């Protein structure tokens, strides 16, 4: 593994220092880990306080992120090592650091009592959730990801990894290094590009319906691999998968071994029959009709479905490039200038495209109106994530966050704000974002949320990995959307025409926290992460506040 250059180290360190300046109580190692997690899993910023487990009794685990499917689940276990000087970047991940993870896995799979009684609150919550997944009969796949701006695994650490993987077949170890961090940073804000693919013979079929054209073609695998890899052939152009990619695409993280085996086997000619192929959206395409083996050229394209196939083919080429000459890939290319059609194609062909729907909605007229309306009031509405990163944090209003605020406060679905945020830019979009909302009131609601968020961050900073202090604020860690929901109920109870600001808003938040704590303290046996994913908690808060003479008919009135 090549050592990090001084320039690359400077770039990463500058990013880490900038974040550390904003959050001085957070270690640089955790900040580095946060950067990596957001690169691997876009749109996880809100959940970082729950993902990060670094602290006392963390068992060497700095973070756990769980992606739950219908029958399976992927558990990503992180350990971060940040080297604070370029001179120390030669250091590798040693055997003691890997051994900690190995011992944690032993406790996890054995359901060890010591782990169940761990004082690290966030680690314990994640572990309990993993055990519940097993109890439900879900098959869990474990990805242990070491991330560092230093060296990779030492020889002795690699031996421990091999032994651990032999013991637990569902576990894989991966290393996310500085080159991948730099590569992801370099793609931020990059413009989309044009491309071309080589058709096999005359295996091409075109259709046109007014404002959308489509073509289905069989293309040779080498031309597709060339399309998606960097000029030096060592990496993948991740930006081409912006409307598709939702999982780790580093070494061993973005491919399927069965796809690779088919591609490099003597039966490689069956690849076309066994694989669903890839789907591309673009602004336009062209080729010489009637010619044998034409070249399809397309403009401003995205691969919206087939990330796993794509990355598997690249990995297969590293193993046996010559075998790929026999592989034929089915490609669907759809050209349109209409963003709504491009979005529907992405959603229809990509089971995880809902998360990326935010980008596809970013130019929607209602979001542009919101941007202008907030701007008139001195705020910067971010239709796209971090589009106003140069502006003060206190004046930035994130579109996803605003959608969650509306869900929790106006639509009174705090559980959905927490667990179904993906739907904000898909099926719930028109329900959440419309021009009937009072912008001045939205600003006040968002400021109330910021008060809650500030209290949550302060509490976590003070109590670290052991937030169960008995203090009312312990429920802010996982239940902040329910606190905002309680604020909505209290506002109705007040019968005031406008929402409070300043000290009055802070008093409302304090009362809401008290009511949430009173409602939830009666259910101590339930884990916090589970409590605040359930609509029953909302009902308990209803009950707590209705006992104070709040009219339930008022509660049920949707604004």
Pair 362, 386: CB distance under 8 Å: no
Q: How far is CA 550 from CA 62, 148, 480, 488, 513, in A?
A: 44, 53, 21, 12, 17
Distance CA 516, CA 507 (A): 14
- Give the residue from 188, 321, 318 showing the smallest Cα distance to 255: 318
Other beta carbons less than 10 A from residue 290's beta carbon? 7
Beta-bridge mates of residue 298:
195, 285
- Residue 369, token pair as written in the block: 């109106």
Distance CA 559, CA 544 (A): 22
Three-point CA angle 251, 255, 257, nearest 5°: 110
Three-state secondary-structure class, residue 213: strand
Strands (E), 406-456: none
Distance CA 556, CA 315 (A): 54
CA 30 to chain CA centroid, Å, is 17
| Distance spanning both ends of the chain, measured CA to CA | 58
In angstroms and rounded to an integer, the radius of gyration of the C-alpha atoms of the chain is 25
Q: How many helices (H) and strands (E) does the chain have?
A: 24, 13
- Give the residue from 259, 339, 262, 260 showing the smallest Cα distance to 304: 339
pLDDT of residue 558: 37
Domains of the chain from N-terminus onward: 6-186 (3.40.91), 195-356 (no CATH), 362-556 (no CATH)
Distance CA 296, CA 497 (A): 61
Distance CA 232, CA 443 (A): 48
- Residue 215, token pair as written in the block: 């073509």
Distance CA 181, CA 5 (A): 13
pLDDT of residue 556: 46
pLDDT of residue 503: 95
Pair 81, 54: CB distance under 8 Å: no
CB under 8 Å, gap of 24 or more: what pairs does 424-433 form?
Answer: 424/358, 424/400, 425/354, 425/357, 425/358, 425/360, 425/361, 425/400, 426/347, 426/354, 426/357, 428/403, 429/357, 429/361, 429/364, 432/403, 432/406, 432/407, 433/364, 433/366, 433/367, 433/370, 433/403, 433/406
Q: How far is CA 19 from CA 16, 23, 25, 26, in A?
A: 5, 6, 11, 9
Q: How many CA atoms lie within 13 A of 49 on its CB side?
A: 20
Strands 171-176, 195-209: parallel, antiparallel or unpaired by DSSP?
unpaired
DSSP for residue 512: H
Q: Which residue has the tokens 């090592």?
A: 81
CA 253 to chain CA centroid, Å, is 15
Q: What are the residue ranges in the chain where pLDDT is below 70?
A: 1-2, 42-43, 186-192, 234, 242-256, 339-344, 346-357, 360, 464-470, 523-527, 547-559
pLDDT of residue 2: 56
Distance CA 489, CA 421 (A): 21
Q: Which residue has the tokens 């502006």?
A: 391
Pair 259, 275: CB distance under 8 Å: yes
pLDDT of residue 252: 42
| Helices marked H in 41-86 | 48-51
- Residue 345, token pair as written in the block: 């194609």
Over 287-356, what HEC string results?
CCCCCCCCEEEEECCEEEECHHHHHHHHHHHHHHHHHHHHCEEEEEEEEECCHHHHHHHHHHHCCCHHHH
pLDDT of residue 72: 82
Please, what sign has the CA dihedral across residues 491, 493, 494, 495?
A: positive
Widest CA span of the chain, in angstroms? 79
pLDDT of residue 557: 45
Residues found in the chain: 559
Pair 253, 247: CB distance under 8 Å: yes
Distance CA 320, CA 495 (A): 71
Over 110-138, what HEC string results?
HCCHHHHCCCCHHHHHHHHHHHHHHHCCC
């Amino acid at each position: 593994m090549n050592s990090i250059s001084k320039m690359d180290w400077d770039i990463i360190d500058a990013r880490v220092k900038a974040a550390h300046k904003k959050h001085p109580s957070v270690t640089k190692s955790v900040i580095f880990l946060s950067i990596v997690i957001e690169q691997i899993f876009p749109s996880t910023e809100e959940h970082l306080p729950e993902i990060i487990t670094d602290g006392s009794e963390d068992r060497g685990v700095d973070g756990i992120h769980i992606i739950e499917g219908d029958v399976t689940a992927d558990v990503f276990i992180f350990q971060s090592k940040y080297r604070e000087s370029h001179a120390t970047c030669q250091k590798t991940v040693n055997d003691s650091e890997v051994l900690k993870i190995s011992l944690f896995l032993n406790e996890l799979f054995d359901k060890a009592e010591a782990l169940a009684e761990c004082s690290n609150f966030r680690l314990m919550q994640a572990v309990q959730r993993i055990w519940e997944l097993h109890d439900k009969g879900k098959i869990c796949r474990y990805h242990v990801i070491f991330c560092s701006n230093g060296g990779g695994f030492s020889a002795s650490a690699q031996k421990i990894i091999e032994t651990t993987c032999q013991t637990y077949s569902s576990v894989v170890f991966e290393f996310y290094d500085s080159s991948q961090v730099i590569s992801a940073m370099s793609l931020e804000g990059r413009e989309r590009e044009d491309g071309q693919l080589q058709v096999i013979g005359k295996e091409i079929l075109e259709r046109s319906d007014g404002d959308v054209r489509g073509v289905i073609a069989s293309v040779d695998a080498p031309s597709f691999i060339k399309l998606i890899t960097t000029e030096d052939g060592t990496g993948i152009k991740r930006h081409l998968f912006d409307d598709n990619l939702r999982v780790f695409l580093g070494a061993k993280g973005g491919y399927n071994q069965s796809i690779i085996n088919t591609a490099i086997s003597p039966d490689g000619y069956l690849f076309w029959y066994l694989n669903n192929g890839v789907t591309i959206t673009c602004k336009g395409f062209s080729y010489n009709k009637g010619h044998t083996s034409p070249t399809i050229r397309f403009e401003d394209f995205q691969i919206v479905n087939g990330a796993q196939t794509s990355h598997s083919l690249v990995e297969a080429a590293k193993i046996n490039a010559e075998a790929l000459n026999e592989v034929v890939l089915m490609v669907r290319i759809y050209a349109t200038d209409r963003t709504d059609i491009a979005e529907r194609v992405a959603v229809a062909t990509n089971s995880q495209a809902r998360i990326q729907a935010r980008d596809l909605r970013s130019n929607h007229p209602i979001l542009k109106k919101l941007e202008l309306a907030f701007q008139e009031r001195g705020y910067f509405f971010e239709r796209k994530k971090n589009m106003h990163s140069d502006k003060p944090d206190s004046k930035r209003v994130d579109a996803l966050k605003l959608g969650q605020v509306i869900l929790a406060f106006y639509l009174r679905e705090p559980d959905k704000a927490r667990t179904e945020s993906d739907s904000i830019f898909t099926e719930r979009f028109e329900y959440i974002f419309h021009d009937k909302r009072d912008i001045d009131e939205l600003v006040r609601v968002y400021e109330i949320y910021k008060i809650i968020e500030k209290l949550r961050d302060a509490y976590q900073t003070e109590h670290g990995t052991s937030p169960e202090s008995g203090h009312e604020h312990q429920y802010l860690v996982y239940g902040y959307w329910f606190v905002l929901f309680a604020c909505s109920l209290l506002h109705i109870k007040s019968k005031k025409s406008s929402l409070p600001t300043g000290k009055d808003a802070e008093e409302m938040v304090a009362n809401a926290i008290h009511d949430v704590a009173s409602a939830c303290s009666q259910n101590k046996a339930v884990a916090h992460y589970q409590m605040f994913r359930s609509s029953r908690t909302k009902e308990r808060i209803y009950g707590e506040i209705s006992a104070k003479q709040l009219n339930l008919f008022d509660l049920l009135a949707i604004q």
